[in-house]
Structure 1
Amino acid sequence: MWRYEDRHRHPAAYYIPRHRNSSLLPMDAAVSATAALLRTCSMTFSREYPDRPVIGVGGVIIDHGRTVLIRRGAEPLLGQWSIPGGTIEVGETLEEAVRRELREETGLEVRVLELIELFDRIDADDSSAAKDKSKPRFHYVIADYLCELVGGEPRAGSDVTDLAFAREDELANFHLTEKATSVLKKAFAMSRARAASR
């Protein structure tokens, strides 16, 4: 079903994918359908003050009770610790994007296991220097995935200033955003559940 709205004088298209056996597609399929729709959009692409939401991915590696964190070298969240990830490229699946981003940012190779959470991050710009007050400065739709480490050597990539390994009880030391902390705690719980079911 398509719905067209005028929000802040900028058109937005919303697609709600249908599945023959249920009212909505499973979350992975819905994310893939949304990503495919946005990739085909002909509007110009800008991460800052975007004309449309930007699709992003994150990969949470849990290995021997530790996760990998990166210190961001670019906005948004410049200088802050975060989950490794980035934006999806045209022609790339979500899982391919996760593997590429983790390779680029951490030097590590992963196997993508399952979706942790799908959420949006909208950062307003309330400063007097804001370019366009009718738009948020950043608007991401992010799919964070649980990943298994399969190889590589840890190193900070070009848009990362530092890389660290942290246990669940050490997360507070990194002053992560509330959302990143929540996603990481879910990932640790999912990893424990997977280990218990083996």
Structure 2
Amino acid sequence: MKVPGKAALRPAHLSVFGTLAGVVVIAVFAGLLVAERGREAGEVQEAVAPRYARLAGLRESAAAVEQAAAAATAALDRFAYPVTMSGDRIGTDLQQRLRAAAEAAGVGVINSQIGTGKRQADLEDVPVSMTLEAEIGQLRQMLLAVQTQSGQAPAIFIDSLGIQRQRSRAGDGGRLTVQARFSVLRRVP
């Protein structure tokens, strides 16, 4: 039965209406999906931005970092022997440098011995133990000579210094017996 004044919905109108409703639903879901992906991309960008800025800063400061590394290597060269030299050769060199300083200062070398090196990180300690006999002025002069030598070659470190006054004899002048341990550093691979 027909209702007067109202147009009847035809099956063609229903299919167009259903298709439009489906397209609207799909468009809403696609919009929500795009919005969610955009929000996630924003979060990732916020998380990555500081890392990217640090990386860009590292690239910009690469020359300064290389310059600082070269300065550190030069400083290490002043304080340590290279990897290419053996510990025995370095010990002998140290022993000769110490004996030359002692002889120049008038200090008597009673005994000297190259010790076994101890490894600490990328460096090895090469020690030389010495027993010396001298007056206080001579000992001071020797230690100053050792300090001066440290400016020219890898630095000599005084690990320990034990000083004892010798038994006094008439006219002895205050001789000292000195037990000293000196060391130098060597780079190790």
Same fold (TM over 0.5): no
- Larger strand share, 1 or 2: 1
Give the alignment's TM-score, normalised by structure 2. 0.28
Relative contact order, higher structure (CA 8 A, sep 6+): 1
Q: Could you say which structure has the larger radius of gyration? A: 2
